[in-house]
């Protein structure tokens, strides 16, 4: 699987993502600078976590207008896989590639802890390696992860099976509506999620639950 | 606008924190009255914070060398060899006064400053810790400070992208008017790629890097060298404002720049900003520096020379550039959206010459400003240790289970989860042990970003009440506990950084605390082979003449050659034997039990037998590395009972314990804070072999019981469910901060 990770000024989980991708896929991902106007020919583009431009404006608002983002949008249109984790999810909502918004956490504090996620739709390229309804461990680390969408959008997401991951077993850390942790676009090839599967892929990290997430991608590309 | 020809009056001199004899020395040095800007420069360089003038004589007595030490104190951070051509670069520094005035920005810029110290040396920061001390929980200002400081620490470190792996949070009325915020950072660098601040070469460009200069923080270092009084609110403008985004960009730009070969010398602008960085680079390299302030990037109009020289705007650096690399270097900084401006040059005059709008506003001898700041041998009184307090003179609890619950659920004994969950403990993906255990542990990556088998352990410790009761023993204990915490995860303690927080050194009893604590720290560092490689001194921590407790925080770094060979503090397997190494508890003076259950603070601090510490710690580390034990926890505040409870809570398993036959008082055996002790657990089948090994090595070793069940039971003394212990342990902090009844 060929992948690329976009680096914005202020990205800080870019290296984590590069390490996890290489570890699970066995292939070294490319690194793309936010000013670049071309993307390499890859199967997957990742917008990593961090605080792009300090997130002094709305999280992801400035990064969403970087030159590279129009290329990312084109990739998405062409059906390539696009993944946004944490700040990446925020950037995807800012560009309109995904609906809704990530508001400040309900208790107004940054939160870093392990939560439980439930995979509620295994029919996406990001979740095929999970059992339906499978509950898995995953860390979160964010200040603005409180997902919100208006009633119509929410109904579209829920009715269309576009909610892929939900916080499970009462571990919703941020007040997200319907316990939403990760969603896909209507075409199913763009996923945004707040939790960090890239930080739980090796036994030494305390578990490998996040591996299955990346294995889903490999599986999807093999069967595609 | 402040002009440079303001008259120099005694009041103005005093307002700059300079004593009359110090001013006389200035007149002698330059042979004329200083200009206003020059007075500001002297004030910045000669204040306590920058010059260490009260502590230098004593700091020199600390051991700073060792086979692994590549760079000791005097640079931006210490450098220690961790093998394979890699080094760990670390330091701890206080931001106490700014944090009390403006907790969010004070704490944030404290973290920013220490991170900058580390990456100025060429190291990528990989771990952070912090030691925080606040006033009594019911003091009117405490909650505001806790929430602001914790948010500030997190706000900066989380955005910058460094995992916070450990720390301390304590409450005591002695900090009501003066909280402590000590920030630690560590980074990794290859041994042949360390950068220093010593300027080399005449006529080379001096380059300003990073963010623009504003009026924030003007006079901050002088403010931090004075006691507080009712005018404190007026000092808010002396606190700087942090921008972690710019700092993250500055990190990446600096590391790229260093890799390009453009950097001859580099120094971050911390306390006293442009003044301190320029003078240090010149003075260390025996060179003069010429600066032209018209070239300094500014973000405010009509700034005076005085303001520019004393601004503490954050996220700035000064470097001496290899001239042939200028274009390449500038391009790197432009790419990261940062300022890059040649603002001066090195000279062979040994003068520090500052020009502004065509005028020379300062012309001073650089060596005298930097290396030859005043040094004092302040009068001090040898502290008289508090008398021993016999366990028999301390009341026994009516209900041992209630006493233990109270201890694990007290302001100082409870879980710090509320705090550390606001810190990103996982970014970079290498955190192996996060806050809440004895030491934080990270995996070491190589320069290419590939995992190695090595790990680093980090701990920060001090017991201020011990230091007050007996500064020598307290100083020893701070080092010993830090060393023990590193040993308890299986790490070999390598070196330490000290952050010495004390009151007004002009008072002989406070100076005596400083002298005696340093003596104790030095003794322990020698005995435990853990040299001090960097540090910071924060004096004048007093408000209305009330000093804080003597608080010499020790931040230690340990090496794990094989990260797989480490343990945590949580009970692991049902049926594992629980044993104590180092003997039974006897000492209740200055203990958590005495303070939180009996309600008294008295007696001697527990004595620290350094040879015993070494022997027991080396034995425990050996057990861990041989894979013989499943869990280990050091015994500290709250003694055996609290250590058992913490292992049970983190493991979610109980234990059935029976105290060994002995004639000591029960409460002293359970809650005594005797030093050099550890709890370990291991498979029952290995018990005899381990006991034999211990007795062969002359180690006191006693089987206490076995892991298992839902309750922590000490036969005939107490039984309590782990669930209830956990509830007490976890509830205190969130309830306190949420304003609900505790």
Tens digits of per-residue pLDDT, B679-706?
A: 999 999 999 999 999 999 999 999 999 9
Cα–Cα distance for residue pair B36/B443, rounded to 1 Å = 51
> What does the CA dihedral B482, B484, B488, B489 come to, rounded to 10 degrees?
30
In the predicted model, what is the mean pLDDT of residues B618-633? 98
Tens digits of per-residue pLDDT, B487-523?
A: 999 999 999 999 999 999 999 999 999 999 999 999 9
pLDDT tier at B742, thresholds 50, 70, 90? very low
Tally of residues, chain A = 224
Cα–Cα distance for residue pair A109/A219, rounded to 1 Å = 37
pLDDT tier at B215, thresholds 50, 70, 90? confident
In the predicted model, what is the mean pLDDT of residues B601-629? 98
Tell me how close the Cα of A211 comes to any Cα of chain B, in angstroms. 13
The gap between the terminal CA atoms of chain B, to the nearest Å, is 52
pLDDT at B218 over 80: no
Q: Which positions ≥6 away from B360 have C-beta within 8 Å?
A: B353, B354
Helix H, strand E, coil C: the string for chain A is CCEEEEECCCECCHHHHHHHHHHHHCCCCEEEECCCCCCCCCCEEEECCECHHHHCCCCCCCHHHCHHHHHHHHHHHCCCEEEEECHHHHHHHHHCCCCCEEECCCCCCCEEEEEEEEECCCCCCCCCCCCCCCEEEEEEEECCCEEECCHHHHHHHHHCCCEEEEECCCCCCCCCHHHEEEEECCCCCEEEECCCHHHCCEHHHCECCCHHHHHHHHHHHHHC
User: Chain A contacts of B158, Cβ < 8 Å?
Assistant: 51, 110, 112, 141, 143
Residue B166: which of B435, B522, B431, B353 has the closest Cα?
A: B435
Cβ neighbours, 10 Å, residue B203: 11
CB pairs under 8 A between A and B: 85
Q: Which helix (H) or strand (E) holds B407?
A: helix B400-408
Question: What chain B residue is nearest to A22 in terms of C-alpha separation?
Answer: B450
User: What CATH code is carried by the domain that includes residue A130?
Assistant: 3.40.50.880
* Residue B313 annotated as part of some ligand binding site: yes
Residue B638: which of B428, B458, B481, B417 has the closest Cα?
A: B481
* A46: β partners: A5, A83
User: Chain B contacts of A141, Cβ < 8 Å?
Assistant: 158, 424-427
> What does the CA dihedral B479, B485, B491, B493 come to, rounded to 10 degrees?
0
Percent of chain A past pLDDT 90, that is, above it, reads: 99
Across the interface, whether the CB atoms of A51 and B248 are under 8 A apart is answered yes
* Residue B91 annotated as part of some ligand binding site: yes
Burial class from Cβ neighbours inside 10 Å (0-12, 13-18, 19+) for residue B602 reads middle
pLDDT of residue B229: 65
B601 with B136: CB under 8 angstroms? no
Take residue B337 and report the two structure tokens written for it.
Answer: 């959206």
pLDDT tier at B228, thresholds 50, 70, 90? low
Tell me how close the Cα of A206 comes to any Cα of chain B, in angstroms. 7
The CATH code of the domain at B391-738 is 3.30.1330.10
Tell me how close the Cα of B428 comes to any Cα of chain A, in angstroms. 5
Cα–Cα distance for residue pair B182/B566, rounded to 1 Å = 27
B275 with B141: CB under 8 angstroms? no
Q: Which of B16, B95, B356, B587 is catalytic?
A: B95
User: Chain B contacts of A104, Cβ < 8 Å?
Assistant: none
pTM (2 d.p.): 0.96
pLDDT tier at B180, thresholds 50, 70, 90? very high
* Residue B31 annotated as part of some ligand binding site: no
B703 with B604: CB under 8 angstroms? no
The values of phi and psi at residue B411, to 5°, are -55, -40
pLDDT at B5 over 80: no
Helices (H), B488-638: 508-527, 592-593, 610-625
Helices (H), B31-102: 36-46, 48-51, 56-59, 96-101
Tens digits of per-residue pLDDT, A16-49?
A: 999 999 999 999 999 999 999 999 999 999 999 9
Cβ neighbours, 10 Å, residue B564: 12
Q: What sign results for the dihedral spanned by CA atoms A195, A199, A205, A209? A: positive
Q: Give the DSSP letter string of B275-341.
A: HHHHHHHHHHHT-EEEEEGGGS-BSSTT--HHHHHH---SSEEEEEE-GGGHHHHHHHHHHTT-EEE
Cα–Cα distance for residue pair B713/B693, rounded to 1 Å = 28
Q: How many CA atoms lie within 13 A of B314 on its CB side?
A: 27
B536 with B554: CB under 8 angstroms? no
* Residue B277 annotated as part of some ligand binding site: no
Residues of A annotated as catalytic (active site), given as ranges: 86, 196, 198
Domain range enclosing A217: 3-223
The count of domains in chain A is 1
Take residue B492 and report the two structure tokens written for it.
Answer: 């070999």
Take residue B645 and report the two structure tokens written for it.
Answer: 């409870």
Q: How many CA atoms lie within 13 A of B562 on its CB side?
A: 8
Residue B164: which of B417, B418, B426, B419 has the closest Cα?
A: B426
A84 with A147: CB under 8 angstroms? no
Tell me how close the Cα of B245 comes to any Cα of chain A, in angstroms. 5
Take residue B446 and report the two structure tokens written for it.
Answer: 């190589």
Take residue A20 and report the two structure tokens written for it.
Answer: 């996890």
Provide the CA B241 distance to its chain's centre, in angstroms: 21
pLDDT at B457 over 60: yes
Q: Which helix (H) or strand (E) holds B210?
A: strand B205-210
Q: What is the mean pLDDT of each run of 10 residues along chain A (224 residues)?
A: 97 97 96 95 98 95 96 97 98 98 97 98 98 98 98 98 98 98 98 98 96 97 84
pLDDT tier at B635, thresholds 50, 70, 90? very high
Task: Please name the member of B155, B246, B432 whose beta carbon is closest to the beta carbon of A204.
Answer: B432
Across the interface, whether the CB atoms of B421 and A15 are under 8 A apart is answered no
A40 with A30: CB under 8 angstroms? yes
In the predicted model, what is the mean pLDDT of residues B272-298? 94
Percent of chain A past pLDDT 70, that is, above it, reads: 100
Task: Please name the member of B243, B422, B426 whose beta carbon is closest to the beta carbon of A139.
Answer: B426
Q: How many DSSP H helices and E strands does chain B contain?
A: 25, 28
Interface mutation target, options B418, B427, B449, B452, chain A, most CBs of A under 10 Å: B427
Question: What chain A residue is nearest to B562 in terms of C-alpha separation?
Answer: A204
Q: How many CA atoms lie within 13 A of B54 on its CB side?
A: 27
Q: How many CA atoms lie within 13 A of B637 on its CB side?
A: 22
In the predicted model, what is the mean pLDDT of residues B637-648? 98
Across the interface, whether the CB atoms of B449 and A19 are under 8 A apart is answered yes
The CA–CA distances, whole Å, from B701 to B481, B578, B680, B691 equal: 19, 11, 10, 7
Across the interface, whether the CB atoms of A9 and B245 are under 8 A apart is answered yes
pLDDT of residue B1: 47
The CA–CA distances, whole Å, from B126 to A115, A192, B7, B62, B534 equal: 24, 27, 49, 27, 17
Across the interface, whether the CB atoms of B245 and A54 are under 8 A apart is answered yes
pLDDT of residue B235: 61
Tell me how close the Cα of A188 comes to any Cα of chain B, in angstroms. 28
Task: Please name the member of A20, A110, A199 whose beta carbon is closest to the beta carbon of B158.
Answer: A110
Q: pLDDT averaged over chain B?
A: 94
* Residue B498 annotated as part of some ligand binding site: yes
Catalytic annotation present for B95: yes
Mark out chain A residues that contact chain B at CB-CB < 8 A: 9-10, 12-13, 15-16, 18-20, 49-51, 53-56, 109-113, 139, 141, 143, 196, 198-199, 204-206
Specify the residue for token string 């520090």.
Answer: B352
Q: Which positions ≥6 away from A203 have C-beta within 8 Å?
A: none
More confidently predicted of B234 and B187? B187
More confidently predicted of B458 and B19? B458
To the question of domain B1-64+198-374 being in CATH 3.90.650.10, the answer is yes
Cα–Cα distance for residue pair B137/B412, rounded to 1 Å = 10
Cα–Cα distance for residue pair B437/B415, rounded to 1 Å = 10
ipTM of the complex: 0.97
User: Chain A contacts of B563, Cβ < 8 Å?
Assistant: 204
In the predicted model, what is the mean pLDDT of residues B288-308? 93
Question: What chain B residue is nearest to A204 in terms of C-alpha separation?
Answer: B432
What stretch(es) of chain B map to CATH 3.30.1330.10? 391-738
Burial class from Cβ neighbours inside 10 Å (0-12, 13-18, 19+) for residue A120 reads buried
pLDDT at B114 over 50: yes
The values of phi and psi at residue B692, to 5°, are -65, -45
3-class SS of residue B652: coil
Percent of chain B past pLDDT 70, that is, above it, reads: 96
pLDDT of residue A218: 96
* B363: β partners: B353
């Amino acid at each position: 699987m060929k992948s690329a990770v976009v680096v914005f000024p202020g990205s800080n989980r870019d290296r984590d993502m590069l390490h996890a991708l290489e570890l699970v896929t066995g292939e070294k991902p490319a690194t793309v600078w936010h000013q670049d106007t071309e993307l390499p020919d890859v199967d997957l583009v990742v917008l990593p976590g961090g605080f792009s431009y300090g997130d002094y404006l709305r999280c992801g608002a400035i990064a969403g207008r970087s030159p590279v983002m129009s290329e990312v949008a084109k990739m998405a249109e062409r059906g390539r896989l696009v993944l946004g984790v944490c700040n990446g999810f925020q950037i995807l909502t800012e560009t309109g590639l995904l609906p809704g918004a990530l508001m400040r956490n309900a208790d107004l504090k940054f939160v870093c802890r392990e939560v439980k996620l439930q995979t509620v739709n295994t029919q996406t390229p990001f979740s095929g390696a999970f059992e339906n309804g499978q509950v898995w461990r995953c860390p979160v680390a964010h200040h603005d992860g409180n997902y919100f969408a208006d009633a119509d959008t929410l109904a579209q997401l829920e009715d269309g099976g576009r909610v892929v991951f939900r916080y499970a077993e009462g571990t919703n850390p941020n007040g997200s509506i319907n316990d939403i942790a990760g969603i896909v676009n209507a075409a199913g090839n763009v996923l945004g999620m707040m939790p960090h599967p890239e930080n739980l892929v090796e036994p030494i990290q305390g578990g490998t639950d996040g591996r299955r997430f990346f294995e889903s991608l490999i599986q999807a590309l093999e069967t595609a | 606008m402040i002009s440079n020809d303001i008259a120099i009056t005694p009041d103005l001199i005093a307002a700059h924190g300079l004593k009359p004899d110090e001013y006389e020395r200035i007149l002698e040095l330059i042979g004329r009255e200083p200009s206003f800007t020059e007075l500001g420069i002297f004030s910045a360089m000669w204040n306590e914070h920058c010059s260490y003038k009260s502590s230098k004589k004593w700091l020199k007595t600390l051991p700073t060398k060792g086979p692994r030490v590549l760079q000791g104190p005097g640079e931006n951070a210490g450098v220690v060899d961790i093998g394979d051509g890699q080094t760990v670069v670390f330091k701890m520094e206080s931001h106490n006064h700014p944090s009390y005035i403006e907790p969010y920005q004070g704490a944030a810029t404290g973290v920013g400053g220490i991170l900058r110290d580390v990456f100025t040396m060429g190291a990528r920061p990989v771990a952070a810790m912090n030691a925080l001390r606040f006033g009594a929980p019911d003091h009117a200002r405490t909650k505001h400070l806790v929430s602001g400081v914790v948010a500030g620490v997190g706000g900066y470190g989380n955005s910058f992208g460094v995992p916070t792996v450990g720390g301390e949070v304590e409450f005591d009325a002695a900090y009501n008017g003066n909280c402590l915020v000590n920030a630690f950072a560590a980074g990794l660098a290859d041994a042949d790629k360390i950068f220093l601040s010593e300027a080399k070469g005449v006529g080379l460009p001096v380059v300003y890097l990073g963010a623009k200069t504003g009026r924030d923080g003007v006079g901050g270092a002088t403010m931090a060298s004075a006691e507080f009084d009712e005018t404190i609110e007026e000092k808010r403008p002396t606190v700087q404002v942090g921008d972690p985004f710019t700092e993250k960009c500055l990190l990446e730009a600096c590391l790229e720049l260093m890799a390009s070969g453009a950097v001859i010398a580099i120094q971050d602008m911390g306390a006293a900003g442009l003044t301190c960085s320029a003078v240090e680079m010149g003075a260390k390299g025996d060179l003069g520096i010429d600066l032209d302030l018209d070239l300094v990037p500014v973000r405010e109009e009509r700034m005076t020379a005085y303001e520019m020289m004393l601004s503490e705007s954050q996220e700035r650096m000064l470097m001496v550039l290899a001239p042939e690399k200028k274009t390449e270097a500038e391009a790197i900084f432009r790419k990261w959206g940062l300022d890059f401006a040649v603002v001066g040059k090195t000279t062979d005059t040994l003068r520090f010459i500052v020009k502004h709008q065509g005028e020379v506003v300062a012309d001073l001898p650089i060596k005298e400003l930097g290396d030859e700041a005043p040094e004092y041998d302040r009068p001090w009184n040898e502290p008289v240790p508090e008398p021993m307090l016999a366990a028999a003179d301390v009341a026994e609890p009516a209900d041992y289970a209630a006493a233990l619950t109270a201890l694990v659920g007290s302001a100082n004994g409870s879980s710090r989860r509320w705090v550390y969950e606001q810190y990103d403990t996982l970014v970079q993906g290498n955190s192996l042990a996060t806050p809440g255990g004895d030491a934080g542990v990270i995996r070491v990556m190589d320069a290419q970003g590939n995992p190695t088998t090595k790990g680093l352990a980090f701990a920060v410790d001090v017991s201020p009440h011990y230091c007050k009761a007996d500064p020598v023993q307290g100083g020893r204990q701070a080092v010993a506990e830090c060393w023990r915490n590193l040993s308890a995860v299986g790490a070999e303690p390598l070196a330490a950084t000290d952050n010495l927080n004390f009151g007004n050194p002009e008072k002989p009893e406070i100076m005596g605390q400083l002298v005696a604590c340093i003596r104790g720290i030095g003794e322990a560092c020698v005995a435990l082979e853990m040299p001090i490689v960097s540090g910071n001194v924060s004096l004048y921590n007093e408000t209305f003449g009330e000093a804080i407790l003597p608080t010499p925080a020790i931040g230690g770094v340990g090496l794990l050659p094989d990260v797989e060979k480490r343990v945590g503090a949580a009970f692991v397997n049902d049926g594992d034997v629980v044993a104590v190494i180092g003997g039974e508890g006897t000492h209740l003076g200055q203990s958590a039990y005495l303070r939180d259950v009996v309600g008294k603070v008295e007696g001697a601090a527990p004595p620290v037998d350094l040879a015993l510490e070494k022997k027991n710690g080396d034995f425990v580390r050996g057990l861990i590395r041989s894979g013989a034990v499943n869990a280990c926890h050091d015994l500290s505040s709250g003694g055996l009972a609290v250590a058992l409870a913490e292992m049970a809570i983190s493991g979610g398993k109980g234990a059935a314990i029976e105290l060994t036959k002995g004639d000591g008082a029960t409460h002293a055996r359970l809650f005594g804070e005797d030093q050099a002790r550890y709890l370990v657990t291991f498979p029952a089948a290995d018990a005899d072999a381990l006991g034999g090994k211990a007795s062969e090595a002359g180690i006191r070793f006693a089987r206490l019981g076995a892991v298992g069940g839902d309750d922590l039971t000490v036969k005939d003394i107490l039984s309590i469910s782990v669930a209830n212990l956990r509830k007490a342990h976890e509830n205190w902090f969130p309830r306190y901060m949420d304003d609900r009844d505790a």
